[in-house]
Amino acid sequence: MSNTSAPNTSVRGKIVFITGSSRGIGAATAMAFAAQGARLLLAARRAGKLSEVASMALERGAQAVHSFQLDVRSRNAVQRAIDELPPEWAEIDILVNNAGLSRGMDKLYTGKTEDWDEMIDTNVKGLLYVTRAVVPGMVVRGRGHVVNLGSMAGEMVYPNGAVYCGSKAAERAINDGLREDVLGTPVRVTSIDPGLVETDFSLVRFHGDAARAAKVYKGLTPLTAEDVADVILWAVTRPQHVNIARVSFSSVHQANTLLIHRQA
């Protein structure tokens, strides 16, 4: 992994576009690439937190940072953001489609449709909008790597999570379909599929209920955002002829979405 061996392919000076980079996995990924001297394009809905991450990235070693507020649910906003990038930021080398969330944990037949809409609009449609705006340029330039944040939830559905799991199953299919569609070009496509990661994911899922969110990780050692960022960096620094199709990984306390060992 990147913390124990030198990368095979350097990301120094490369433009790395990370969505949802104001917190959690997105912010940790920004720090990981910053430490390797990348140039960072950071986007998120929360402008205040994004500014903090941008400053930290520069301190960590990023060659430059350009950040902007973006809601990936808006197709027009996404396309406009890419079209209006300054020329020195327009040639994106690496796209990390990280923006995503879960809302609610209800039985499908009692679920809130507004929660469904937010998950599908962000996790599926947002992924598509950003990919559609960025990848054509990669194909024309003959270089690029798309990293999509999936989940073990896309492999196995768990109770009361049908819509979130469905959105990640869609990510899995979109990732594989894109890899097929760019075949014949040097563009690489990778899905990163972690298990339980302790960020504010559960806090968002439970609409700010901190006590309920804390129970998700009780009695186990989950993955950290930095663990996921390390795997992302590893995947993009393989030799150019190597495409990591998918990385599925978890804490040793988790076998899959249904089997979790919790200590007393």
Check if 158 is active-site. no
Q: What is the pLDDT of residues 248-261, one digit of tens each?
A: 999 999 999 999 99
What's the burial of 261, exposed, middle or buried (CB within 10 Å: 0-12/13-18/19+)?
Answer: exposed
**pLDDT of 6:** 47
Residue 1 has pLDDT above 60, yes or no: no
Spatial distance between the Cα atoms of 51 and 258, rounded to a whole number of angstroms: 38
Q: What is the pLDDT of residues 235-244, one digit of tens each?
A: 999 999 999 9
| Residue in the block written with tokens 């909008």 | 129
Q: List, in sequence order, every beta strand (DSSP E) within 137-237.
A: 145-149, 188-194
Domains and CATH numbers, the chain: 15-249 (3.40.50.720)
Residues 6+ apart with CB under 8 A from 116: 103, 163
The average pLDDT across 212-218 equals 91
The average pLDDT across 48-58 equals 96
**pLDDT of 2:** 45
**pLDDT of 173:** 98
The average pLDDT across 202-229 equals 92
Say which range, 3-17, 55-69, 212-226, has the weakest mean pLDDT. 3-17
What's the burial of 223, exposed, middle or buried (CB within 10 Å: 0-12/13-18/19+)?
Answer: buried
**pLDDT of 7:** 52
Spatial distance between the Cα atoms of 18 and 30, rounded to a whole number of angstroms: 7
pTM, rounded to two decimals? 0.94
Residue 84: pLDDT band with limits 50, 70, 90: very high
Say which range, 109-113, 128-132, 192-196, 197-201, has the weakest mean pLDDT. 197-201
HSE-CB for 1 with a 13 A CA cutoff: 10
- Of 189, 194, 191, 255, nearest to 224 by C-alpha is 194
What is the chain's length? 264
Q: What is the pLDDT of residues 158-179, one digit of tens each?
A: 999 999 999 999 999 999 999 9
**pLDDT of 264:** 80
| % the chain with pLDDT above 90 | 90
Choose, from 109, 129, 158, 164, the residue flagged as catalytic. 164
Cα–Cα distances (Å) from 256 to 89, 174, 211, 252, 253, in that order, read 39, 22, 24, 10, 9
Q: What single letter denotes the amino acid at residue 237?
A: T
Residue 153 has pLDDT above 70, yes or no: yes
